Amino acid sequence: MNSKPYVREVSKTTWFLSHPRYQRYMAREVTCIFIMAYTFLLICALGSLADGPDAFQEFLNALRGPWGVLFNVAVLAATVYHSATWFNVTPQAMPIQRGEEFVPGHLIVGAHYGVWAVVSLIILVWGM
Amino acid sequence: MSELQKRQIQLEVLRYNPETDTAPRYQTYSVPCLEEWVVLDALNYIKDHLDPTLSYRWSCHMAVCGSCGMMVNGEPKLACKAFIHEYKEGQIKVEPIANFPIERDLVTSVEDFITKLASVKPYLIPKEDKPVSAGEFKQTPAELKKFKQYTLCINCMLCYAACPQYALVPEFLGPAAISMAHRYNQDSRDGGRDQRQEVVASDEGVWECSFVGACSEVCPKHVDPAGALQQVKVASTIDWYKEHLMPWMKR
Amino acid sequence: MAKSNKPIFWGLFAAGGTVTAFVTPALVLVTLFAAMRFNMDMFTYETIHAFAAHWLSKLIIFGVILVSLWHAAHRLRVTAHDFGIRADTVVAYVVYGLAALGTLMTLVYLLRI
């Protein structure tokens, strides 16, 4: 034991820039900003729906500008990254033991992607 | 007899002498390395031939004792498992593992980790008192498999070096300690989960974790502490709902 | 060290993360198509209002929006901390307040549809 141990400081604001692993983590985390924003877009859609056909048309018109397209593209990128990162870690968070062995991770992940495809198809068919 | 292939490697090693230095500095050594060497071999060469004052921890040289954790080119690694041939550029920076105070050169203070590990009661707490005369605990292969993975931890602390939450919040219990709690919670012979939850389910316990996953990426024994911590979160959440929605239920 | 109250928020975060992982990308595609003026006759007031007026639709819509809000809110709380903002209690009130506001708005709008 010595009386002068040296403590290395870590920046509270820029620590994640130091390694690609942390950069990927922060990219995953900031998807929440896009998801929050998009959810409020949906809420606005509901509000305009409740207010009647004119209000709803106003909402659609606002959505149809270049900013509307840009926003949706940005959210799409964020939400797809969220989905992929979420599915990929599911076996770690919820391992399934059948008998002695654990269900292989790639099966669990694959099943999630499969369900994602089916659910997406249903939503797209309904929405179009 | 032909000379064995040797490659001259530049090792930039952090030095810190608490008696004379106010801050760490780097010292570069040129080391002739054999093809199959690991960073630990290079350090031993330095100590034996170039600079006997260099201080570092090591023991088994086969990745089971957990002593030689270091930052090798910024990555938490066991020095005995960091192969020289992986470093094609021939420049290797060796520093003490991150997020621990430096005692001297590559030696860090491990006190914080040891305290935290002890705090999770990392030992079997049987459900009821069972005298030896009552016979042994029986366990099926499936029950063993349930926690086996988490027994492989060698306490090397690479996960603490990789974890940004431990870097930012020093009170955080950390990956290895919580994984060890999980190891016992998952053991069919154990009944001590409630006792461990006081520490594990606190704000400085598992809830400081944000599932960065760096710990599992650097773990040399494939323990997957990140997985253990998420499972602890799930179990703790179910606990919480049981406690608050069905308080009459005895656990 | 007392046991945390984080579980309630984390439970919603986990539920919301799962739901948003499955449904949000396709939903965004739908709104993207609307923004790009694809298939305009599908986005008439009558069709969408008729769908949203059904009690089952309202339940689903409320459920999806609820968990999406609280998932994003909790992650925002953690992200703020990761960006160096240490006033966790203040951040918690702000993000969960936002989620609560969204929840209330959704409730009100759905009741009016």
Sorted by where each begins, the domain ranges of chain C are 9-112
* Among the partner residues B167, B168, B211, nearest to A89 by beta-carbon distance: B211
Share of chain B above pLDDT 70, in %: 97
Query: Alpha carbon A48 to chain centroid distance?
Result: 26
Mean pLDDT, all residues of chain A: 94
For B234-250, write each residue's pLDDT tens digit: 999 998 988 888 888 76
Domain that holds residue A91: 15-127
Q: What is the pLDDT of residue A125?
A: 87
What residues does each domain of chain B span? 6-108, 111-245
Instruction: Note the ipTM here.
Output: 0.94
**Three-state SS annotation for chain B:** CCCCCEEEEEEEEEECCCCCCCCCEEEEEEEEEECCCEHHHHHHHHHHHHCCCCCCCCCCCCCCCCCCEEEECCEEEEHHHCEHHHCCCCEEEEEECCCCCEEECCEECCHHHHHHHHHCCCCCCECCCCCHHHCCCCCCHHHHHHHHHHHHCCCCCHHHHHCHHHHHCCCCCCHHHHHHHHHHHCCCCECCHHHHHHHHCECCCHHHCCCCCHHHHHCCCCCCHHHHHHHHHHHHHHHHHHHHHCCCCCC
| A128·C42 Cβ contact <8 A | yes
For A92, which DSSP code? H
Task: Please report whether residue A4 resides in a domain.
Answer: no
Q: Which chain A positions have a beta carbon within 8 Å of C18's beta carbon?
A: 86
Token output for C39? 């298939």
Whether A63 is in a domain gets the answer yes
Work out the average pLDDT over A50-73: 93
Rounded Cα distance between A67 and A64, Å, is 8
Contact check, Cβ <8 Å, B99/A10:
yes
B99 contacts chain A (CB < 8 A): yes
Q: Which residue of B has its CA nearest to C9?
A: B237
Could you tell me which CATH class the domain B111-245 is placed in? mainly alpha
CB pairs under 8 A between A and B: 78
Answer yes or no: is A111 within a domain: yes
In-domain check, residue A7: no
* CB–CB contact B197 C3 (8 Å): yes
Residues from chain B contacting residue A102 (CB–CB below 8 Å)? 145
The CA distance from C95 to C105, in Å, is 15
The CATH architecture that domain C9-112 belongs to is Up-down Bundle (1.20)
CB contact under 8 A, C1 and B204: yes
Any domain includes A10: no
Specify the amino acid at residue C93.
Y
Q: Mind telling me how many Å the CA of A67 is from chain B's nearest CA?
A: 32
| A1 pLDDT tier (thresholds 50, 70, 90) | low
Tokens of B36: 């199959």
| CA separation, residue A12 to residues B122, B161, B204, C4, C81 (Å) | 32, 16, 17, 23, 9
Reply yes or no on whether the pLDDT at B1 is more than 60.
no
Q: pLDDT grade, residue B2 (50/70/90)?
A: very low
Give per-residue pLDDT as tens, C50-98: 889 999 999 999 999 999 999 999 999 999 999 999 999 999 999 999 9
Q: What average pLDDT does this structure show over B74-101?
A: 96
- As for how many domains chain A has, the answer is 1
Q: What is the CATH number of the domain that holds A111?
A: 1.20.1300.10
Could you name the CATH architecture of B6-108? Answer: Roll (3.10)
Average pLDDT of the segment spanning B105-132: 95
Mean pLDDT of B168-176: 97
pTM for the whole structure? 0.94
Residue C1: band (very low, low, confident or very high) from pLDDT cuts 50, 70, 90? very low
Contact of A81 with chain C, judged by CB distance below 8 Å, is answered with: no
Instruction: Chain A: give the shortest CA distance to residue B3, in Å.
Output: 39
Residue A75's H or E segment, with its range, is: helix A66-93
The residue ranking higher by pLDDT, B190 or B4, is B190
A121 domain residue, yes or no: yes
